Amino acid sequence: MDGGGERLDKALATLLPEYSRNRLKSWVEAGAVTVDGKVTKARFMLRGGESIKVFPQEMPEQFAFSPEEIPLDVVYEDNSIIVINKPVGLVVHPAAGNWRGTLLNALLFYYPELKNLPRAGIVHRLDKDTSGLMVVARTAEAQTALVRQLQERTVSRRYLAWVWGSTPSQGKVLASVGRDQRDRLKMAAGVTQGKPAATQYRRLAQGHFQEQAISLLECRLETGRTHQIRVHLESLGFPLIGDPVYRKKIPGIAKTLGFERQALHAFALGLAHPETHQAMAWFQLPPADLMTLQEKLNLSETDLPNASATIHSISNQN
């Protein structure tokens, strides 16, 4: 080709406009582009007249909507909805860095008909390392109805959150949540360009770990913003135990506790069935790591009747 005095990546963008610049650059970096038979860099300056060969590579996002046999803990299902107990470590929806191995991939394996629905019927999300209950639609009508309930704030979502610090007995956080202007990988509370967000909480129990106060909270979401509970509680000075991101006031003994994911579990879900309109509710005990944490923090039945009653009631309803 000609292209003398032009960088390789820019020349490729001109020659192959059907591909994004990021994709072309990734092919160059993967050694799938040669200039006169040699692998080079995206910034390589062409003289003109070189022979450029491109060997297109499969991109990870091509597998984003591929079925995968990933175990699912299905709590309830009928012709309209599926309720799932999401485990820790499972990403809900494919995105950069997680194009495979997601809840969406698993849903497409067990429920192939979901390929006809936007986001395979997913109407809300949990963070990768947050465990607990989620509802998924199986029909377009059910998805529309569930989205409407979420918008109208009639879906009940309740979480157990173990936090550092001695919290008030109850409260409500009203603070917008949006992208942190100083760190685009994080969310922040009170951001001017953020979306309105509301979280109610009540303290179920108090305890200590090496003289550091600990509180167990029940949180109720009125809105469903990204990282909402984590951001709201950190803004009050009560970061979640184990949270790897929102940890401004985590005490120095945090590493001693040895819990390395946010201590957050979606234990209760309530909604009106999208077809029958019947009120339905599900409850799910925390996974083993949180139950072990509960014991380690000495949140016992004798000292903590509220917490014991909540977890006991969940157990009775499973």
Query: What would the pLDDT profile of 52-96 be if each residue is shown by its tens digit?
Result: 888 876 655 555 688 999 999 999 999 999 999 999 999 998 876
Alpha carbon 171 to its chain's center: 25
The one catalytic residue among 2, 9, 36, 127:
127
235 shares a domain with 201: yes
- Containing structural domain, residue 50: 8-57
Per-position DSSP letters for 111-169, written without gaps between them: -GGGGGSGGGGB-----TT-EEEEEEESSHHHHHHHHHHHHTT-SEEEEEEEEES---S
Show which of 152, 173, 203 is a domain's final residue.
Answer: 152
Residue 273 maps to a domain: yes
Q: What is the CATH number of the domain that holds 281?
A: 3.30.2350.10
Show which of 110, 128, 152 is a domain's final residue.
Answer: 152
What is the band of 302 on the pLDDT scale with cuts at 50, 70, 90?
very low
Report the DSSP pairing between strands 198-209 and 212-221. Answer: antiparallel
Residue 93 maps to a domain: yes
300 shares a domain with 161: yes
89 shares a domain with 48: no
303 shares a domain with 158: yes
pTM of the model: 0.78
Residue 1 maps to a domain: no
Contact status, residue 57 vs residue 67, Cβ threshold 8 Å: no
Residue 303 maps to a domain: yes
> Is 9 annotated as catalytic?
no
212 shares a domain with 130: no
Residue 71 maps to a domain: yes
132 shares a domain with 34: no
Residue 3 maps to a domain: no
**Burial (Cβ within 10 Å: 0-12, 13-18, ≥19) of residue 227:** buried
What is the band of 109 on the pLDDT scale with cuts at 50, 70, 90?
very high
